[in-house]
Structure 1
Amino acid sequence: MPPRLLVAGTHSGAGKTTVAVALMAAFAARGRTVQPFKVGPDFIDPSHHRAACWRESRNLDGWMLTKAYNRATFLRAAKRADLSIIEGVMGLFDGSSAVSDAGSTAEQAKELQAPVLLVVDGSAMSRSAAALVHGFATFDPDVRIAAVVFNRIRSEGHFRLLKEAVENALDIPVIGYFPPNDQFGIPERHLGLVMANEPGWREQVYTLLGRQAEETIDLGRVEELARSAPALSDFTEHDPQETERAQASPLRVGIARDPAFCFYYADNMDILVREGAELVFFSPLFDRTLPAVDLLYLGGGYPELYARDLAANVSMREAVKAFAAAGGVIYAECGGLMYLAERLRDFDGVDHEMVGLLPIEVVMTLDRLTLGYRQLEVILPCP
């Protein structure tokens, strides 16, 4: 079909990541092959998806990608899975526009004809929850709110009140809840949640989340809802990932990958391989020299959190600079560009020497941090 369910929240912080990851972990523990997806330009939540169900999470984005590409990406990844769980972004109807569904979770729900499991923070509500769910269910008739899960519910009695209120007013089932519990909370910081691959991260949190879902969410009903999704037509145009170019001498692409550089889309890695590249991973944090490569790819991440260690690895900084001086090609974005600067000033106001290829200083400040889509116009020719 394939079976699929989209987990959406009423707003950012409602608990959709907690519920989505818990469902992934619970079904994986039951022996299901779960394919995770994330709506929007997010690197962080997919790291938790991968850790919970052991499959690479794929991004679906109505602003950056075409409808055809999103459909192809979904069908390709989902075809060998028992169940696909798609985590939304922000609130269900929030996106790049205030007057349309562009870039929103709702847009993907419609494009993929996916039933929506709405996550509602019910911690300070009773009957008002029915009015809230009613508004979400009727705002766009093409978005199907298939069920509700309440988050931050401290007692079975409170859950029964909320369930009765919603089901008495609407033909939408309430199929479970999640209690507040610091043990399975995922900490946040300036760009969102912490990454799943960071040192010291408690991997057992996914087991705890899965067990909680087994206890307080009707997983059988969740699976029924996923299987109720209508048939989704196959992608009939050229699938951008179907063909692979064979090269006698593949281009060796050195990709920085460690806790400081960890923001990469899985599809970009696949595209490089499809175009004939050999991916060679290295660590600007821990390696002392560069591998033998033809091109460097420095992705985003958290160089500001590891600036001291990056600065201390002088031999790697010099190797990157020497690579550029010898005519080597470097593609850098986000944190990768920060690493190529002369200096990086961290949140404590401490300066750290970086590679020094770009005549700039990067200054970290929380009060000016904004997240969102941006369009750039290239005004100079690029080689």
Structure 2
Amino acid sequence: MLIAAPASGSGKTTVALALIAAARRRGLVVQPFKVGPDFIDPGHHTRLAGRPTRTLDGWMLGADPCRASFAAATADADVAIVEGMMGLFDGCSPESDAGSTAEIAKWLGLPVVLVIDAGAMARSAAAVVRGFRDFDPDVAIAGVVFNRIGGAGHLALLRSALAAADLPPCLGGLPLDPALTLPERHLGLFTAPEVPLAADMLADAAERHLAVDALLRGAAECTEKARGGDGTPGVAKRSRAEGGPRIHVAGRRPRALARRGSEHGARSAPCARGRTAIAVARDAAFSFYYPENLDLLAAAGATLVEFSPLRDACLPPGTCGVYLGGGYPEVHAAALAANTRLLAALRAFAAGGGLVYAECGGLMLLADALEDEHATVHPMAGVLPLRTRMLPQRLAIGYREVRVACDFLPPVVARGHEFHRSMLDDASVPASLARAYVVTDPTTGAQTYEGFVLRRTLASYVHLHFGSAPALADGLVAAARAAAAELGAADDAGEAG
């Protein structure tokens, strides 16, 4: 099923998480998905479902990759629970469903469960539902879940209003309960590592207040219907028939993802058995990664090894490349600055020509300094000669198309998005610092030059989805392997001398 709503803040995430928890408790294998470029909601889905949430983004990926991802990830699942983004029909254009949750629903043939914040309405809820049902007849509204209801009497009024207007049925209502309210801050919800949600509490809420049997039965029937007679999901057949690309999607975390690196030092060296070790920053400060990006790196020959910029003293042994994703470094700036050994290790690795790829929060870590919202300046790794600072009243958000021109990566056009409340201190960025990206805002057509390059370090505010340009993953692994080979040869020559 696809959980959608008229607008952000209606309760989609709470309903999706409650249903995931209830399904897991019943012994079902649940495959979660998130429409749009978000990282935070998927982290909560992943923790409750026990398997990575996959991204379904019409603008970044297109129809065939979304179908292929859905087919591969649901092959061994009992139910798929998809959380939409923003309002059901909100996307890249005010004139079409491009990039919207509705577009994904139609591509995949998914029934929509509409979540309505009914905290301040009664019969008017029926007008809202009718409008969404009739706006696009190709989007099937299977039922309605109300959120923030005042009690049993309120829910009875809402249920009667839908029935009297011959609208899709009410499938339950969650009460106005602070325990079901997820904490938020400047970029959205707190992340899964910071506020682990109580699965039992969410499952209990679903069982008490939602028509879980009907919801899960409908989701299971939809999943079964999508499969062909040979057990291959129908969306996969359609993608292949239309000549769609095949993409690498594992059901769980990439097999090549190793345990966190130890704190023992190790110089960069080519990895054993033909694999290339790429250290992936993951902790409370850095957690924004598309699982598909990690899958594609693994498919290109990388062994992914997690490390913590907050806690670890050095990079994992044998590191050939470093991937610094986004997150909340500004929240943990003091702790990051205090980990001087790790910052020095990053600086030395990059200065020696090691491959470092960074996005958003990762860029902030590589800068000389980070100024937080209280105007406190925290020293960072100093890999790149620039500074970042928080602007509480400024939010950079939107899709971006990126043309890559970099000596150590293939020339590709990739798609991604920006979402941050920090900015570069322009006065700190030397004109001589190379830029590898031409970044286009698809809404306005405006272009900027970004993607800062120094040796084999590439850092940008843009979160790229490698599924939009799989050659990027191949190029990053190849660059890491080449850098490690050069460093190993130099070390060998030094030892021989």
Deviations 1:307-347 (A, max 9, x none): 10111111111111111111111111110001011110011
1:86 aligns with 2:82: yes
Question: How far apart in 1 are the matches of 2:185 and 2:249?
Answer: 38
Matched with 2:306 is: 281
Higher relative contact order (CA 8 A, sep 6+): 1
Question: Is the CA contact (8 Å cut-off) linking 2:69 and 2:247 kept in structure 1?
Answer: no
Alignment of 1:209-358 (within 5 A): 209-229=202-222, 230-231=225-226, 232-233=234-235, 234=237, 235-236=239-240, 237=243, 238-241=245-248, 248-291=273-316, 292-358=318-384
Q: In the alignment, which residue of structure 2 is the partner of 1:203? A: 197
2: CA distance, partners of 1:209 / 1:227: 20
How many angstroms does 1:377 deviate by?
4.5
- Structure 1 position 370, deviation (Å): 3.1
Contact 2:59 2:92 in 1 (8 A): yes
Where in structure 1 are there 5+ consecutive unaligned residues? none
Match of 1:64, SS?
helix
- C-alpha separation in 2, matches of 1:119 and 1:335: 32
> Which whole-Å CA distance do the structure 1 matches of 2:48 and 2:358 have between them?
29
TM-score (norm 2): 0.73
Q: CA deviation at 1:66?
A: 2.1
- Residue 115 to residue 44, structure 1, CA distance change in 2 (3 Å): same
Aligned to 2:12: 16
How far apart, in 2, do the equivalents of 1:242 and 1:318 lie? 35
- How many angstroms apart in 2 are the aligned matches of 1:301 and 1:126? 39
- Structure 1 vs Structure 2 CA RMSD: 1.8
Separation in structure 2 between the aligned mates of residue 127 and residue 345 of structure 1, nearest angstrom: 50
Q: Which runs of 5+ in 2 are unaligned?
A: 227-233, 257-271, 409-497
Contact kept in structure 1, 2:371 and 2:390, CA below 8 Å: yes
Please point out which of 160, 166, 170 is paired with 1:164: 160
Would you say 1:26 and 2:33 are equivalent positions?
A: no
- In 2, Cα distance between equivalents of 1:160 and 1:240: 47
CA distance in structure 1 between the partners assigned to 2:188 and 2:407 by the alignment: 33
Secondary structure, counterpart of 1:239 in structure 2:
coil
Deviation at 1:349, TM superposition (A): 1.1
1:132 is aligned, of 128, 131, 134, to 128
User: Following the alignment from structure 2 to structure 1, what is the Cα–Cα distance between the partners of residues 50 and 383?
Assistant: 38
Instruction: Measure how far apart 1:376 and its partner are.
Output: 3.7
> Is the contact made by 2:286 and 2:328 (CA closer than 8 Å) also made in structure 1?
yes
- Report the residue type matching 1:221 in the other structure: A
| Conserved? CA contact 1:134–1:170, under 8 Å | no
Distance 1:227 1:265 in 2: 26
User: In structure 1, what residue type is equivalent to 2:208?
Assistant: E
Deviation of 1:290 after TM superposition, in Å, equals: 1.4
Larger radius of gyration: 2
Query: For residues 23 and 372 of structure 2, what CA distance do their matches in structure 1 show?
Result: 41
Of 25-34 and 222-231, deviating more is 222-231
2:101 to 101, 105, 114: 105
For the structure 1 residues 24 and 320, does the alpha-carbon distance in structure 2 shift closer, same or farther, using more than 3 Å as the test?
Answer: same
1:178–1:212: 8 Å Cα contact kept in structure 2?
yes
Check whether the contact 1:130–1:170 (CA below 8 A) recurs between aligned residues: no
Which residue of structure 1 aligns with residue 173 of structure 2? Answer: 177
Give the SS at the match of 1:163: helix
Q: Say how many residue pairs are matched.
A: 374
- The change in CA–CA distance for 1:271 and 1:209 in structure 2 (over 3 A counts) is same
- Separation of aligned partners in 1, 2:150 and 2:38: 30
Which residue is equivalent to 2:423? none
Deviation at 1:22, TM superposition (A): 0.4
In the TM superposition, residue 220 of structure 1 has moved relative to its aligned partner by 1.3
Question: What is the rounded CA distance, in whole Å, between the counterparts of 2:399 and 2:357 in structure 1?
Answer: 20
SS in 2 for 1:288: coil
Contact 2:130/2:167, CA 8 A, preserved across alignment: no
1:212 counterpart SS class: helix
3-state SS, counterpart of residue 373 of structure 1? strand
> Whole-Å Cα distance in 2 between the matches of residues 138 and 127 of structure 1?
17
Q: CA deviation at 1:53?
A: 2.1
Q: Percent identity?
A: 49
Q: What letter is aligned with 1:268? A: N
Q: 2:153, 2:22 → 1: CA distance? A: 24
The whole-number CA distance in structure 2 between the counterparts of 1:215 and 1:265 is 34
Letter of the 1:29 partner, please give it.
R
